Structure 1
Amino acid sequence: MIFGRIKPLDAILATAEKKSLHRSLGWFQLTLFGIGCVIGTGIFVLTAAGAQKAGPGLLLAFAIAGGICIIAALCYAEIGSMIPVAGSAYTYTYTTMGELLAWTVGWALILEYAVAASAVAVGWSGYFTGTILNQTLGIHLPAWLATAPLAMGGSPGGLINLPAVIIALLVTWLLMIGTSESAKVNAVLVLIKVTALTAFIVLTLPSDQFDAARFNPFLPAGLFGGFGSGVGAVGAAATIFFAYVGFDAVSTAAEETKNPQRNVPIGLIASLLFCTVFYMLVAAGAVGTIGGQPIMGPGGVPFPAGSEELARQCALPQHAQALVCSNEALAHVLRQIGFGTIGNFLGYAAFIALPSVILILLFGQTRIFFVMSRDGLLPEKLSAIHPKWKTPYIVTAITGGAVAFAAAFLPVGKLADIANAGTLYAFMMVAVAVMILRRTAPNVKRSFKTPMLWLIGPLTIFGCVFLFFNLPLEAMLVLPAWGAVGLVIYYAYGYRASHVARGIVETNPDLPADLTGIDYPH
Structure 2
Amino acid sequence: MGLFDRKPIAVLDDGEHGMRRTLGAGDLIMLAIGAVIGAGIFSSLGTAAAGEVLADGTVVRYGAGPALVLSFILLGAVCALAAMCYAELASMIPQAGSAYAYSYATLGEIVAWVVGWALILEYAVGNVAVAIGWAGYFTSLLSGFGIDLPGWMTHGYWNVKASGDPAIRALLDSAPRLAGVPILVNLPAFGVVAAITMLLMQGAKESTRVNNIMVILKRVVLALFVIVGAMHIDPANYKPFAPNGFRGIHQGAAIVFFAYIGFDAISTAAEETRNPQRNLPIGILGGLAVCTLIYVIVGLVATGLVPYDQLRSADPLAKALSLAGLDTASWIVAAGAVVSMSAVLLVFQYGQPRIFYAMARDGLLPKFAAKLDPKTRTPRVTTLLTGVLVALGSLVADDAATYDLTNIGTLAAFAVVCLGVLVLRIREPDRPRPFKVPFVWAVTLIGAGACVFVMQGLPASAWMAFGAWMVIGLALYFAYGYRNSVLRRPGSTPSR
Q: TM-score, normalised by structure 2?
A: 0.91
1:319 corresponds to: none
- The CA distance in 2 between the partners of 1:477 and 1:149, in whole Å, is 22
| 1:27 equivalenced with 2:35 (yes/no) | no
2:53 corresponds to: none
Q: Provide the secondary structure at the position in 2 that maps to 1:31.
A: helix
2:218 corresponds to: 193
1:261 corresponds to: 277
Q: Provide the secondary structure at the position in 1 that maps to 2:38.
A: helix
CA contact under 8 A between 1:469 and 1:476: conserved in structure 2? no
Amino acid at match of 1:281: I
Out of 126, 136, 142, the position equivalent to 1:126 is: 136
Amino acid at match of 1:446: R
* Cα distance, 1:17 vs structure 2: 2.1
1:10 corresponds to: 10
Out of 456, 459, 471, the position equivalent to 2:446 is: 459
* Cα distance, 1:18 vs structure 2: 5.6
CA contact under 8 A between 2:7 and 2:495: conserved in structure 1? no
CA contact under 8 A between 1:78 and 1:450: conserved in structure 2? yes
What RMSD, in angstroms, separates the aligned Cα atoms of the two structures?
Answer: 1.5
- The CA distance in 2 between the partners of 1:124 and 1:505, in whole Å, is 46
| 1:394 equivalenced with 2:381 (yes/no) | yes
2:64 corresponds to: 54
| 1:241 equivalenced with 2:257 (yes/no) | yes
Spell out structure 1 runs of 4+ moving beyond 6 A. none
Out of 472, 488, 507, the position equivalent to 2:475 is: 488
- The CA distance in 1 between the partners of 2:153 and 2:234, in whole Å, is 42
1:403 corresponds to: 390
Amino acid at match of 1:59: V
2:228 corresponds to: 203
1:75 corresponds to: 85
1:434 corresponds to: 421
Amino acid at match of 1:160: V
Amino acid at match of 1:474: S
- CA 1:259–1:4 in structure 2 vs 1: closer, same or farther (change >3 Å)? same
CA contact under 8 A between 2:47 and 2:311: conserved in structure 1? no
| 1:421 equivalenced with 2:444 (yes/no) | no
- The CA distance in 1 between the partners of 2:460 and 2:266, in whole Å, is 30
| Alignment map for 1:74-113 (pairs within 5 Å) | 74-113=84-123
* Cα distance, 1:177 vs structure 2: 1.0
1:142 corresponds to: 150
- The CA distance in 1 between the partners of 2:474 and 2:491, in whole Å, is 22
Out of 478, 484, 489, the position equivalent to 1:497 is: 484
* Cα distance, 1:504 vs structure 2: 5.4
* Cα distance, 1:100 vs structure 2: 0.7
* Cα distance, 1:212 vs structure 2: 2.5
Contiguous gaps of at least 5 residues in structure 1: 225-231, 294-321, 507-519
- The CA distance in 2 between the partners of 1:2 and 1:112, in whole Å, is 28
* Cα distance, 1:473 vs structure 2: 1.1
* Cα distance, 1:327 vs structure 2: 2.7
Cα deviation code 1:462-503 (max 9, x no counterpart): 111101111111112222110100111111111010000123
- The CA distance in 1 between the partners of 2:88 and 2:465, in whole Å, is 30
- The CA distance in 2 between the partners of 1:521 and 1:399, in whole Å, is 32
Q: TM-score, normalised by structure 1?
A: 0.87
- The CA distance in 2 between the partners of 1:42 and 1:503, in whole Å, is 47
- CA 1:504–1:189 in structure 2 vs 1: closer, same or farther (change >3 Å)? farther
Amino acid at match of 2:35: C
- The CA distance in 2 between the partners of 1:463 and 1:5, in whole Å, is 28
1:318 corresponds to: none
Q: Provide the secondary structure at the position in 2 that maps to 1:500.
A: helix
Amino acid at match of 1:272: L
* Cα distance, 1:521 vs structure 2: 6.5
1:217 corresponds to: 240
* Cα distance, 1:199 vs structure 2: 1.5
Contiguous gaps of at least 5 residues in structure 2: 51-62, 173-182
CA contact under 8 A between 2:88 and 2:435: conserved in structure 1? yes
Amino acid at match of 2:336: A
1:276 corresponds to: 292
1:509 corresponds to: none
- The CA distance in 1 between the partners of 2:288 and 2:43, in whole Å, is 18
- The CA distance in 2 between the partners of 1:36 and 1:372, in whole Å, is 25
| Alignment map for 1:296-375 (pairs within 5 Å) | 322-324=310-312, 326-375=313-362
Out of 200, 203, 207, the position equivalent to 1:175 is: 200
Amino acid at match of 1:265: P
Cα deviation code 1:368-393 (max 9, x no counterpart): 00000000000111111111222101
Q: Provide the secondary structure at the position in 2 that maps to 1:413.
A: helix
CA contact under 8 A between 2:4 and 2:111: conserved in structure 1? no
- The CA distance in 2 between the partners of 1:323 and 1:504, in whole Å, is 60
2:266 corresponds to: 250
CA contact under 8 A between 1:373 and 1:382: conserved in structure 2? yes
CA contact under 8 A between 1:146 and 1:162: conserved in structure 2? yes
Q: Answer with 393-402 or 433-442: which moved more.
A: 433-442
CA contact under 8 A between 1:5 and 1:99: conserved in structure 2? yes
* Cα distance, 1:41 vs structure 2: 1.9
CA contact under 8 A between 1:66 and 1:241: conserved in structure 2? no
Q: Answer with 494-503 or 157-166: which moved more.
A: 157-166
The total of aligned residue pairs comes to: 467
- The CA distance in 1 between the partners of 2:37 and 2:4, in whole Å, is 40
Amino acid at match of 2:78: I
CA contact under 8 A between 2:44 and 2:314: conserved in structure 1? no
CA contact under 8 A between 2:29 and 2:283: conserved in structure 1? yes
1:515 corresponds to: none
Q: Answer with 47-56 or 146-155: which moved more.
A: 146-155
